Amino acid sequence: MALLLRSRLLKSGGAARSISTAAWWRHVEPAPKDPILGVTEAFLADASPSKVNVGVGAYRDDNGKPVVLDCVREAERRIAGSLNMEYLPMGGSIKMVEETLKLAYGENSELIKDRRIAAVQTLSGTGACRLFADFQKRFSPDSQVYIPVPTWANHHNIWRDANVPQRTFHYYHPESRGLDFASMIDDIKNAPSGSFFLLHACAHNPTGVDPSEEQWKEISYQFKVKGHFALFDMAYQGFASGDPERDAKSIRIFLEDGHMIGCAQSYAKNMGLYGQRVGCLSMVCEDEKQAVAVKSQLQQLARPMYSNPPVHGALIVSTILGDPDLKKLWLKEVKGMADRIIGMRTALRENLENLGSPLPWEHITKQIGMFCYSGMTPEQVDRLTNEFHIYLTRNGRISMAGVTTGNVGYLANAIHEVTKSG
């Protein structure tokens, strides 16, 4: 019908043609700004010399500059010239995926040896989550997903666009600024058996609050009792403790208990490959045959979306992780980034306490990873931005990666000014 109408309009001359084409997108309203990336846009548009960006979770050095790791520079030097520009297979770089699985599942994982893991290279962590959500919709079409409150805002977009209904589960306890473990366990117990849950493997975004090892064991046990499925989103492996092996503890606990987990990995943060979009989605299967089938379906989902993933970042990752010396350098550099952030947590807390702030600020040093969930209200955040040119998300999340020796005093003073009267 629409086609018929269009061809009639086109035949009837120029005036009609311009009316019909002008009408195509008249109903399109501007999309709301992304709560995280919109902050960066506002920061870039601000001409103030004292402006500070603690919005987006992207690592900066102590001069506030983006960082390219030495191991990445060296890998680029080694691959320069040797790289052709051919397509990767639909599942991406086999070498990169192999190395990536070792990071999540362990160097000597029996699951890897037994070829029980279906895994494909993805467009970073976002792409891994989205591919999983699409897979969930296709092969468990009536299921829903449980998402923690709060979470990285894009999780909601991802499962919404994959048409998977969302439920939430308790996670953060605002009063204690810690984990609401009891309510979380209740929600796990009360969810229908065999539910899908999204879990942050480490360095929870935005709260910086992770379950302890004991708590992870209990969570894993309750998942076993209820037969739930866990998708681990691991966007910060190495950023919590400085050691990628330690940061995989939650996953390893689930694996010891025999769960068939899914895992979304990203090299944006821990290798600083933000714009290269390198990641991996993996799913533990019952046996090799099932893993082959699952992988083929993941590839089938990728094919009409982007066909195959980009090659350059994958080659950087496989070059680094495939070379013992470069891997050692990477581990040192990850620890260096994590340590600088930990140092800035101490400095921010000390500065606030030295200013005589009447509020408790221990949570700044207790929370881990890239973010501090400050407890500031949206109105206080607005004052930080409008009066002090300090940019952060309105949920009060401070990206500690943007805090430096040079701006920590200014930031603490501004936070004190907007919070001191409650």
Binding site for ligand IK2 (CB under 6 A): 36, 56-57, 124-126, 152, 200, 205, 233, 235, 266, 268, 274, 279
Helices 408-419, 378-388: crossing angle, 10 deg rounding: 130
Least CB distance to ligand IK2 at residue 2 (A): 37
* Of residues 419, 380, 367, 384, the one with CA closest to residue 200: 367
Q: Is 226 a catalytic residue?
A: no
**Smaller CB separation from ligand IK2, 210 or 233:** 233
**Smaller CB separation from ligand IK2, 120 or 291:** 120
**Smaller CB separation from ligand IK2, 203 or 285:** 203
Least CB distance to ligand IK2 at residue 38 (A): 11
Q: Is 113 a catalytic residue?
A: no
Least CB distance to ligand IK2 at residue 268 (A): 4
| Distances from the Cα of 265 to the Cα of 323, 380, 382, angstroms | 20, 34, 33
**Smaller CB separation from ligand IK2, 56 or 317:** 56
Contact between 168 and 149 under an 8 Å Cβ cutoff? The reply is: yes
d(CA 403, CA 347): 10
Least CB distance to ligand IK2 at residue 172 (A): 14
d(CA 374, CA 208): 10
Q: Is 269 a catalytic residue?
A: yes
**Smaller CB separation from ligand IK2, 242 or 351:** 242
**Smaller CB separation from ligand IK2, 69 or 285:** 69
Look-up: residue for tokens 């691959």?
79
Long-range contacts of 318-322 (CB under 8 A, 24+ apart): 318/93, 318/95, 318/96, 318/99, 319/75, 319/78, 319/79, 320/71, 320/72, 320/75, 320/271, 321/96, 321/99, 321/100, 321/102, 321/103, 322/95, 322/99
Burial class (CB in 10 A: 0-12, 13-18, 19+), 79: middle
Of these residues, 180, 187, 210, 233, which one is catalytic?
233
**Smaller CB separation from ligand IK2, 124 or 419:** 124
Of these residues, 152, 159, 216, 330, which one is catalytic?
152
Length of the chain: 422
Of these residues, 134, 216, 269, 330, which one is catalytic?
269
Residues with a catalytic annotation lie at 152, 233, 269
